[in-house]
Amino acid sequence: MQPVPAKLTIGTVTIAPATVLAPMAGVTDTVFRRFIRNLGGCGLIMTEFTSADGVLRKKDQKAKRYLHFYEDEHPISAQLFGSDPQVMAEAARIVEDLGFDLVDLNLGCPAKKVVKCNGGSGLLRDLPAIDKIFAAVRAAVKIPFTVKFRAGWNDEEIVCVELARMAESCGLAAVALHARTREMGYSGNARWEWIAAIKDAVKIPVIGNGDIRTPEDACAMVTQTGCDAVMIGRTAPSNPWIFRQIQQYCAGMENAGAGNGHVGTAASGCPVERSSTGFSHGATRSAGRPTLSPTLRKHGNGAADVVSCLPRIRRCLRLNLIARSSRPRQISDHVA
């Protein structure tokens, strides 16, 4: 198998290693992102997906919270969703002014409340509208502009290759595919062959997403599709060490010779991490600990180990023990 690439360049931004924390609603806030960043092994982190309309509303506290980040989170990408090209363009300008390294368009969210507003994967049925958004946002910002999308609305409406080509022709710097349709939601198996088809169709970097649960899965995706980077979503809350495990596994492959690495082989001077199945669940559920929110509970029991630690992580952040940056970048600084 081929290892995950050691680095990837998207526009002017270098991502090393070529692993990405996927944007997840209710999960990838600044606390979780910094937790992942400090564990090591993750090349790029992304915000929760954020409404472009909300970004432009000064009193929208949720949008302010979503775009709240610290200097030690770089490189970081802000993901936006919306259907109005001009609103998307103005929101992207604010994202750039806030200091984000990249801006990303969400065309993958399958949630009904987002789709009914023609956002997320709802736009996959209207490629001309997507083309207008691509053009407006690309003209509005200088930072790299990327897009994350699903393969199509359903198996009869697969548009991923056409969409990737459109993105490339509009000047986008990279594309990321969650290899499922909107109709599939999060069920079934990700169709990695769609990632390979996009890689064959465009020259810009292609990021693969879907069903990466282990370092072996990450390397298998790179081997089977030729993708330039891997993006990990639902595995991260239950096993936040996954990025470091991938880095160690790939270093072990290189040390042992191409294709001859062993599972769990660590990089020199870097200990092998325990697997996510080695969590001691009972020890993290002592009295007084907060219970999981419904949003995080769906990510699996392993998430309890991480989420139960978040109050202590937040306290450390407030005490400036984990990150030394003082003042976070906030949307309120840029919306009059």
Per-residue confidence (pLDDT) for residue 197, from 0 to 100: 98
H helix runs in the chain, sequence order: 30-39, 52-56, 61-66, 85-98, 112-115, 127-140, 160-169, 192-201, 215-225, 235-238, 242-256, 294-297, 303-307, 310-318
Q: Tell me how long the chain is.
A: 336
Per-residue confidence (pLDDT) for residue 254, from 0 to 100: 79
Per-residue confidence (pLDDT) for residue 280, from 0 to 100: 31
Q: Is 109 a catalytic residue?
A: yes
79-137 pLDDT, tens per residue? 999 999 999 999 999 999 999 999 999 998 877 777 767 677 788 889 999 999 999 99
CATH topology of domain 8-333: TIM Barrel (3.20.20)
Cβ-based neighbour number of residue 11 at 10 Å: 18
Contact 269, 241 (CB under 8 A): no
228-237 pLDDT, tens per residue? 999 999 999 9
Give the residues of the chain that fall short of pLDDT 50: 259, 261-304, 318, 320-326, 336
Q: What is the pTM of this model?
A: 0.80
Per-residue confidence (pLDDT) for residue 62, from 0 to 100: 76
Contact 118, 89 (CB under 8 A): no
What's the mean per-residue pLDDT of the chain?
Answer: 82
Cβ-based neighbour number of residue 189 at 10 Å: 10
Extents of the domains making up the chain: 8-333
Cβ-based neighbour number of residue 269 at 10 Å: 5
33-to-202, 215, 328 alpha-carbon distances in Å? 30, 20, 13
Contact 72, 34 (CB under 8 A): yes
168-to-22, 128, 147 alpha-carbon distances in Å? 21, 15, 10
101-to-97, 121, 164, 204 alpha-carbon distances in Å? 10, 24, 21, 18
**Helix (H) / strand (E) containing 146:** strand 145-150
